[in-house]
Amino acid sequence: MSSFRAAESPAPYEYPQETREKCVKVQYANLEALDISKMEQPEGTAALAKQVLSFINTNGHGFSDEEIRRQYALCRDVFELPLEERRRFACDTAKGDFRGYKERANDRDIVEMYNIPKFTPEHSRPHPQLILDQLDEIKDFSLRIHNNLLLPLLRLFAYVLELDDEDFFVQRHRYEAEGLEYLRYMKYHPRPAATDAAEFGNVWTPGHSDYNTLTFLFHQPVASLQVQTPEGPWRYVRSRPDAVVVNIADALEFFSGGYLKSTIHRVVRPPPDQADRPRLSLIYFARPEAKVTLKPVASPLLRRLGMHDQTEGFTHEVTAEEWARARIAKDHKFRVGEVKSREGEIIAGVSQKLYD
Ligand SMILES: O=C(O)CCC(=O)C(=O)O
Ligand SMILES: [Fe+2]
């Protein structure tokens, strides 16, 4: 039992001010909002299907500003715990396991994370008391992301790919099944401006795709997340208070033979009026069930387009769990200096790419 006890309820969290820097404002990506509540209306799915080929900005998501800020308050507070307390919950990234606390590996690594896995017996684990105090609310928050955001979007993708069974993807993302989803609290510690510019080109996390199915990023007004546009240039993702930004991730790219593109995104140093304090992120990563194979689904659309048998060059079948673990383990090796690059083979002949 920990000797450290947090207050019953965290102090309110206030968002930082939006940036006033013009150089950011002119570089916002043009992300159309997708109103997820429309899926409950007749014809809603068909209308939304036209919007989902890249980054998605959903509103109508049903999460209140207050409850999102309560999650940010926990995110803020968990990283204020003494380091030895945080370390008691360390995750085993060398084994490709991100559950729990990930500390900064060294001065170059500016990211801390605390990942709270889905609430199934498989993932039952200890947490700091301040998390335990709010566990019911965290569970409710996570479950609602799964049920109210993930599942409708999975039905939308089944529709886009013209699958007979609208629950095809839903059946491969059952909450109770073996497999990993998690809510992530994240904290970026800004480097000194001169070091950041000279040694890192002001890039905090290089351009990458996520290795899951869909990633849900809750409102965060610090201008730092950028998306690579199909034409090439990077654009800031403007985070609206009423919207959740959704990345399409690797599993959907594999399931669709490359028809759906894993969103390429990166995190850069915020503009000067926002770079003076750590940046927090609140993110939910949804993944397919552990044993699901990452290969194109039997889709009439993909067949018509000749994309139905593209396997992205896997030399043997790879499951969602194998892919995620291999990517996390590769990242770990890079962070601790065991490999020079995060690029190169991940598993079964398939490589991960990074983008500048
Ligand atoms: O912090 C963010 O806004 C994005 C983080 C991210 O891309 C990731 O954790 O994969
Ligand atoms: Fe990411």
CATH code of the domain covering residue 222:
2.60.120.330
Q: Which pLDDT does position 2 carry in this prediction?
A: 40
Q: Domain total for the chain?
A: 1
Task: Identify the residue whose C-alpha is closest to ligand 1 atom 3.
Answer: 225
User: In this structure, are residues 331 and 208 in contact, taking their beta carbons and an 8 Å threshold?
Assistant: no
Residue 9: the pLDDT is 82
Distance CA 75, CA 187 (A): 8
What does the pLDDT read at residue 352?
Answer: 67
CB of 264 closer than 6 A to ligand 1? Answer: no
* Ligand 1 atom nearest to 215, measured from its CA: 10
Q: Are 214 and 252 in contact (CB under 8 A)?
A: yes
Instruction: Determine the distance separating the centroid of ligand 2 and the alpha carbon of 356, expressed in angstroms.
Output: 14
Distance, in Å, from the CA atom of 63 to the CA atom of 71, rounded to the nearest integer, reads: 11
Would you say residue 156 has pLDDT above 60?
A: yes
Q: CA-to-CA distance for 157 and 297, rounded, in angstroms?
A: 11
| CB neighbour class for 139 (10 Å; exposed up to 12, middle 13-18, buried from 19) | middle
Q: Is residue 10 part of a domain?
A: no
- Pocket lining: 187 vs ligand 1, CB cutoff 6 Å: no
Q: Considering the domain boundaries, does residue 7 fall inside one?
A: no
In this structure, is residue 261 part of a structural domain? Answer: yes
In tens, the pLDDT along 294-327 reads: 999 999 999 998 887 766 567 788 898 898 888 8
Q: Is the CB of 210 under 6 A from ligand 1?
A: yes
Range with the poorest average pLDDT among 160-174, 198-212, 262-276, 326-340: 326-340
State the pLDDT at residue 5. 43
**Do the Cβ atoms of 60 and 39 come closer than 8 Å?**
no
21 belongs to a structural domain: no
The helix (H) or strand (E) run that includes residue 126 is none
* pLDDT at residue 197 greater than cutoff 50: yes
Ligand 1 within 6 A of CB of 320 = no
- Please check whether residue 79 is in contact with residue 185, taking contact to mean a CB–CB distance below 8 angstroms: yes
Provide the domain limits for residue 231.
32-351
- CB-based burial of residue 247 (10 Å sphere; 0-12 exposed, 13-18 middle, 19+ buried)? buried
For residue 293, the cross-strand partners are 319
How many A from CA of 209 to the centre of ligand 2?
6
Ligand nearest to the CA of 262: 2
At residue 60 the predicted structure's pLDDT band, cuts being 50, 70 and 90, is low
Higher pLDDT, 94 or 280: 280
242 occurs within a structural domain = yes
**Choice between 64 and 339, residue whose per-residue pLDDT is larger:** 64
Helix (H) or strand (E) holding 75: helix 65-78
d(CA 106, CA 224): 22
In a domain, 337, yes or no: yes
Determine which residue's CA is closest to atom 1 belonging to ligand 1: 281
**Residue 80 predicted with pLDDT over 50:** yes
Q: Which residues contact 143 (CB under 8 A, 6 or more apart)?
A: 119, 175
Mean pLDDT (whole number) for 68-73: 97
Give the separation between CA 135 and CA 141, rounded to whole angstroms: 10
Q: State in Å: Cα 308 to ligand 1 middle.
A: 30
Q: Is the CB of 265 under 6 A from ligand 1?
A: yes
The closest alpha carbon to 163, from 317, 299, 324, belongs to 299
Q: What was the pLDDT predicted at 161?
A: 94
Average pLDDT of the chain, as a whole number = 87
Which neighbouring-strand residues pair with 345?
351
Q: Which one of 52-61, 164-173, 305-314, 335-344 scores highest in mean pLDDT?
A: 164-173
Q: Exposed (0-12), middle (13-18) or buried (19+): which is 22, by Cβ within 10 Å?
A: exposed
Distances from the Cα of 90 to the Cα of 94, 128, 150, angstroms: 11, 11, 28
State the ligand closest to the CA atom of 283.
1
What is the pLDDT averaged over residues 33-37? 76
Structure tokens at 255: 């399931």
Q: Which amino acid is at 138?
A: I
Mutate to test the pocket of ligand 1, among 281, 287, 352 (most ligand atoms within 8 A of CB): 281
Residue for token pair 């351009």: 207
Least confident of 154-168, 221-235, 250-264, 325-339: 325-339
pLDDT tens-digit readout, 131-150: 999 999 999 999 999 999 99
> What is the helix (H) or strand (E) element at residue 100, kind and residue range?
strand 100-102
In a domain, 14, yes or no: no
280 lines ligand 1 (CB under 6 A): no
Query: Of the given ranges (60-64, 151-155, 273-277), which has the lowest mean pLDDT?
Result: 60-64
- The answer to whether residue 83 scores a pLDDT higher than 90 is yes
Is 327 within the bounds of a domain? yes
The residue whose CA is least distant from atom 8 of ligand 1 is 210
Ligand 1 pocket, residue 217 CB under 6 Å? yes
CA–CA gap between residue 286 and residue 166 (Å, rounded) = 18
* Cβ of residue 248 lying under 6 Å from some atom of ligand 1: no
